Chains A and B, each alone.
Chain A
């Protein structure tokens, strides 16, 4: 009998599942059992209702802003349009904690608007805590995301279709019906689902702008159960419910809204025939102005950090920068290694073993990781580490681990398509030459993979660098990252210092995202 070793990707998949399951079991059994679900029923109902309502409103408003902006940008060419697109790209990679700062800086008690109103003699003030602040922050982060995705989709419409629309004399309504609407119908369900999921799980924004325990998402409720009440049983229940909801949504998104492949087309610049319509000119001007008034101040508020940047550079900031960099690098390396292992297992299943269902398992696993509540997983793993060793080191292990797992889906999207294409093109030649394992990696895969892998690495690093999640649990005198430092300064209403720290985080995240974007398109 010949024993064959399992594929490394299979081992990685089982290790991830084992880690998640182990964490949850440790969490559920730490106090000898879990409380009855009914005992947290009313509280759970409130949290669920708030999570769903704020996520629905955030999604709806993000779609309205994003679609309007995308259509206006698709129809118009104007000086500075590229700058607008760049700003939209910037908000997409902006860490949530920096978005929180931006909301405080513009809409806060001593923000720009309050100062402006005070100058006009109106000193009543208004509160941004609760729905207003949460919705502003979510729409600020997600509206531009919708706009970019929709605009990319509209740019995929074949140039021939625009020419036909011109030749056939389509009215603006007919252009919307036959050209814009099919794109929106294809793109938006998936995008809306993703935004709903991210807002449903929202943590930093709701924690900072919620204004109290009555306005908590499940993620914040899990955090409070851990940090304030140390109620592991409640954490286990809340985490299981969140996991079930998010996994169902992830599965639905995968099953129902896979984007169709885009065929070859002429991509030359084509002017839309409806750009000349007078009413649309007015509508687009209104949409662009409103969007600029909403996004502009929030995006530029971070730039005020330049004024005090030199003043805040001290030992604390440098230490936090180095810590963030170290954690982000470790998380990115982990994310890339896991993504490569899973993608190569998926490739082997799909092409060599002709088992598309098993291949789909490896494809879905990275996205399923997004559904796992990070605080619950962290708490479970913390309990395991506590049994095995020194719990004071847990933060240094769990931060890169959890951030790395959270970045796997993004790294996977860079790596998997290239691995599949390489196998389709050279797999048979490699098999006939006997290339396997290391030799297959270095000779066949690496030349094609190095740029996507580097792109995935840079993006994973950008996400981890600006993350304000798990650090909220472990942050303190021993362990300080830049996002944690920013949160501390915001809590102390030291907005000038917060703006400078936010600026450092954003600039670094933008730099990494830019590198990622350049590398992902290199060689296209």
Chain B
């Protein structure tokens, strides 16, 4: 279980203060207006931002003293997830061994993971030779192959067209049902995840304004603010 309690971050022009609990194995969709603090929330969990106060634990382990590499989290960004000079297989392999010196079993695991995201046979392709959706699948494969139990998806499919975006979300849902992972995914269009997410958190002005089942959140008094956030993005 991911537990965030009163984690406070301050910049000259912005203050964030997060409290959120995500049960183990859940897919939590994080929605909200642009600039409201969704990405900052994920970066804080990943270790790129360090809160001045509060607690952050995952399965009882305090994450705050840990470097990003030591945290049980893997992250996928909206763009620039892949190193352009490495092949798809090498990019995935970074999730296992940054040295890229893989054993035979690990190489097989990389291939299996590419198969799992629908990219069997794409091992030797460079990012420049793949579509945006394929590149995001490779990034997803790397996050999953790392074996880390917490996956952070920071608007991973925003640049894709609506039908492809929906396909990718269904792929995430399918993959997480085969593995014991907890997922936090920031997203601009809540309706894309309403039927697959277990939980939805509305983040605005650096705070988790509300959190609960997607249907409850989308039909709550926040509905007009959510609609406004979607139209703004």
Contacts and interface: CB of A to CB of B under 8 A. Distances in A.
B133 interface: no
Contact of A158 (B46, B75, B79, B98): B79
Given A167-B46, A167-B68, A160 B98 contact: no
A399 B146 CA distance: 65
B213 to A, nearest CB: 30
Given A160-B79, A170-B98, A182 B84 contact: yes
Contact of B98 (A161, A163, A174, A182): A174
Given A171-B98, A174-B98, A174-B99, A166 B84 contact: no
Contact of B80 (A166, A178, A265): A265
A166 B71 CA distance: 10
Contacts of B47: 166-167
B95 interface: yes
Interface string B56-97: 000000000001111101110101110111100000001100
A164 B81 contact: yes
A163 B81 contact: no
Contacts of B79: 158, 160, 263-265
Given A158-B80, A160-B77, A174-B99, A166 B86 contact: no
A166 B77 contact: no
B83 A167 contact: no
A169 B95 contact: no
A475 B86 CA distance: 57
Contacts of A158: 79-80
B14 interface: no
A163 B84 contact: no
Contacts of A161: 80, 83
B12 to A, nearest CB: 14
A169 B46 contact: no
A163 B83 contact: no
Interface in B147-192: none
A330 B80 CA distance: 46
Interface centre among B47, B48, B86 (most CB of A within 10 A): B48
Interface centre among A159, A163, A171 (most CB of B within 10 A): A163
A178 B48 CA distance: 20
Nearest to A162: B48
A169 B70 contact: yes
Contacts of A160: 77, 79-81
Closest 10 CB pairs of A and B: A169-B69, A158-B80, A160-B80, A166-B68, A160-B77, A167-B68, A174-B98, A182-B85, A170-B98, A168-B98
Interface of A: 158-161, 163-164, 166-171, 174, 178-179, 182, 263-266, 273
Given A161-B83, A167-B47, A182-B83, 15 more contacts: A160-B79, A160-B80, A163-B46, A163-B77, A164-B75, A166-B48, A167-B75, A168-B98, A169-B98, A171-B99, A178-B86, A182-B84, A182-B85, A263-B79, A264-B79
19 contacts: A160-B77, A161-B83, A163-B68, A164-B81, A166-B69, A167-B47, A167-B69, A167-B73, A168-B69, A168-B94, A169-B68, A169-B69, A170-B69, A170-B98, A174-B98, A174-B99, A178-B85, A182-B85, A263-B79
